[in-house]
């Protein structure tokens, strides 16, 4: 376990939360919330964490009962440096990172810490801005050094490489938010048809990507609960019995 005396890394999702109150931010927030609501409902376990953006309840769709947010400041439920999480190894079933990696100066350390605390077969779900999109073009050509355009947008293929090196296996994901990043609500609504068109004609150009990965540990065998083994044995016995009866009828 990493020593807690290490210097904390900068994490600036607090000011990102203010941007999510803008018309463009609200538009994006609604789409991201819909994704997490639908995806996390099928992930089970005992403990779930959301690192960053504690103002947004991205874990609300999870069926895991013990859920909490982690950040450097309130309103996070656990006030701690996410680069040095105050949890034991292999103790967390699910971790959500909503744009957390783009607004830290130590994304590798944060991912290493995530891997440390997630249990084998546990999952991490990440939302990030796609640099190869209209959002990425605005960041590249724009002059404004404000949120979120001053973030370090991480490409999807690079993030996949980072996860693979740590020992994660990508389990799913998709892209979203094809609408041009207009600041005004009326223009966002006029170009909302880009969502269906973009998903069909240029699926890799979504402004935001979602990536879900599972922690794999080589050489580890996951032992299923005793009740599931009993159910499986009963099912196999039933199949065998039906097969014998079928043979008897044929004879």
Burial (CB count <10 Å: 0-12, 13-18, 19+), residue 228: exposed
Query: In this predicted model, what pLDDT tens digit does every residue of 6-65 receive, in sequence order?
Result: 334 456 666 889 999 999 999 999 999 999 999 999 999 999 999 999 999 999 999 999
**What mean pLDDT comes out for the span 208-227?**
76
What is the value of pTM for the model shown? 0.81
Provide the pLDDT for residue 202: 83
Q: What Å distances lie between residue 205 and 68, 91, 102, 199, CA to CA?
A: 32, 36, 18, 8
CA-based nearest residue to 87, from 107, 58, 116: 116
User: Looking at residue 210, what DSSP letter applies?
Assistant: E
How much of the chain, in percent, has pLDDT values that exceed 90? 69
Query: In this predicted model, what pLDDT tens digit does every residue of 105-147 receive, in sequence order?
Result: 999 999 999 999 999 999 999 999 999 999 999 988 876 678 8
Tokens matching residue 247: 């043979």
């Amino acid at each position: 376990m990493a020593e807690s005396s290490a210097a904390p890394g900068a994490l600036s999702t607090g000011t990102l939360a203010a941007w999510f109150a803008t018309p463009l931010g609200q538009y994006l927030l609604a789409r991201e919330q819909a994704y997490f609501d639908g995806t996390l409902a099928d992930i089970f376990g005992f403990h779930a964490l959301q690192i960053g953006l504690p103002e947004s309840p991205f874990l609300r769709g999870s069926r895991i009962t013990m859920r909490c947010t982690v950040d450097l400041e309130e309103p996070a439920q656990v006030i701690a440096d996410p680069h040095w999480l105050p949890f034991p190894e292999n103790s967390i079933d699910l971790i959500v990172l909503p744009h957390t990696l783009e607004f830290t100066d130590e994304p590798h350390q944060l991912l290493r810490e995530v891997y440390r605390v997630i249990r084998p077969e546990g999952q991490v779900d990440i939302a990030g801005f796609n640099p190869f999109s209209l959002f990425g073009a605005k960041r590249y050509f724009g002059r404004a050094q404000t949120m979120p355009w001053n973030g370090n947008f991480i490409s999807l293929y690079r993030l996949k490489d980072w996860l693979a090196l740590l020992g994660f296996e990508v389990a799913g994901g998709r892209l979203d938010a094809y609408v041009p990043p207009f600041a005004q609500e009326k223009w966002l609504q006029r170009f909302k048809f880009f969502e269906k068109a973009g998903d069909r004609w240029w699926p890799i150009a979504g402004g935001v990507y979602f990536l879900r990965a599972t922690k794999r540990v080589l050489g580890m065998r996951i032992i299923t609960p005793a009740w599931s083994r009993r159910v499986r044995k009963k099912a196999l016995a039933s199949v065998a019995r039906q097969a014998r009866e079928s043979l008897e009828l044929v004879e």
